[in-house]
């Protein structure tokens, strides 16, 4: 996991996963160094990851006061319960639906939960975080937020993109990609993660994009994209063109068998 800093108040904990045949998908979590520190998402739960140790490189985990879960998919919850244990004063920010989804696997202590819906706000000592539903999402519990002190928008899966290399995926700047390549990577991810785009009316969809334009964030921080600083016009152009996108269709069983037939296992 790589650790980057955006200004003095945001740490990016960058990880990635290889998606065979497509590229490398960033998997980011964040620490907002507010007066009441906020951890945004909690990374992967794979055996070779230690999210708590990564948080410990930028902040004593016991100082965390809020854990903002942008939604309860497994690539966002890897270190959640370890962090709740290490941060006894932290509250988990999610929705009623989010608690329900999490509780299908591990009971969530309700006295540690703070339910927050899009359109509501959360004071964290020296600033207020403004919750919103991003235009693109794959989980009904998705809630991002805007911090008007840092002018950073935390967008969950929205604006994600599959990157050409692991170094770019876990890097600190989405702008290293040429604009056309960045757009193509985001369209690919949107076709995977938000297949419902094929069915939406463009004008109705654009009403969900306008709030982002009004926010005018300096940085857009997606779980699945390297930090995007001063790239808002390009991101808005991409997302505005997403309605009608043909959904991604992955390999079928015959394709899998062909791949396995050509696979040579490593020698013991």
Distance in angstroms (rounded) separating the CA atoms of residues 225 and 67 = 20
Mean pLDDT of the chain: 95
217 DSSP 8-state letter:
-
Of 110, 152, 161, 111, the residue nearest 132 (C-alpha): 152
The CA–CA distances, whole Å, from 132 to 58, 121, 175 equal: 27, 9, 25
pLDDT at 261: 87
Beta strands in 20-147 (DSSP E): 23-32, 38-40, 66-68, 91-94, 113-115, 121-123, 128-132, 144-147
137, 143, 149, 150: CA torsion to nearest 10: -40
The CATH class, in words, for 2-259 is alpha beta
What integer is the mean pLDDT of 52-70?
97
Tally the C-alpha atoms within 13 A of residue 122's C-alpha that lie toward its C-beta.
27
Residue 265 reports pLDDT greater than 90: no
Residue 125 reports pLDDT greater than 90: yes
Structure tokens at 131: 């919750």
Q: Where are the domains of the chain?
A: 2-259
**pLDDT per position as a tens digit, 217-256:** 999 999 999 999 999 999 999 999 999 999 999 989 998 8
Distance in angstroms (rounded) separating the CA atoms of residues 88 and 39 = 14
**pLDDT per position as a tens digit, 22-40:** 999 999 999 999 999 999 9
**pLDDT per position as a tens digit, 147-189:** 999 999 999 999 999 999 999 999 999 999 999 999 999 999 9
**pLDDT per position as a tens digit, 63-100:** 999 999 999 999 999 999 999 999 999 999 999 999 99
pLDDT at 90: 98
Residue 264 reports pLDDT greater than 90: no
């Amino acid at each position: 996991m790589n650790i980057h800093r955006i200004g003095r108040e945001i740490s990016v904990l960058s990880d990635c996963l290889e998606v065979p045949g497509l590229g490398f998908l960033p998997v980011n979590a964040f620490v907002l160094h507010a007066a009441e520190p906020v951890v945004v998402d909690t990374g992967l739960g794979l055996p070779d990851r230690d999210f708590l140790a990564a948080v410990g490189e930028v902040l004593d985990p016991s100082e965390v006061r809020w854990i903002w879960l942008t939604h309860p998919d497994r690539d966002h919850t890897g270190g959640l319960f370890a962090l709740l244990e290490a941060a006894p004063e932290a509250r988990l920010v999610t929705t009623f639906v989010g608690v329900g989804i999490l509780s299908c696997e591990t009971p969530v202590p309700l006295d540690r939960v703070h339910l927050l819906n899009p359109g509501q706000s959360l004071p964290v000592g020296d600033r207020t975080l403004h919750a919103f539903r991003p235009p693109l999402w794959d989980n009904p519990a998705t809630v991002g937020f805007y911090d008007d002190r840092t002018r950073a928008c935390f967008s969950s899966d929205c604006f994600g993109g599959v990157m050409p290399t692991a170094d770019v995926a876990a890097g600190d700047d989405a702008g290293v990609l040429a604009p056309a390549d960045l757009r193509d990577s985001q369209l690919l991810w949107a076709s995977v993660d938000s297949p419902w785009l094929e069915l939406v009316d463009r004008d109705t969809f654009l009403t969900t994009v306008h709030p982002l334009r009004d926010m005018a964030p300096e940085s857009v921080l997606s779980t699945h994209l390297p930090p995007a600083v001063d790239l808002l016009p390009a991101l808005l152009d991409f997302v505005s063109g997403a309605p009608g996108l043909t959904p991604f269709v992955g390999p079928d069983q015959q394709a899998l068998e062909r791949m396995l037939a050509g696979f040579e296992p490593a020698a013991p």
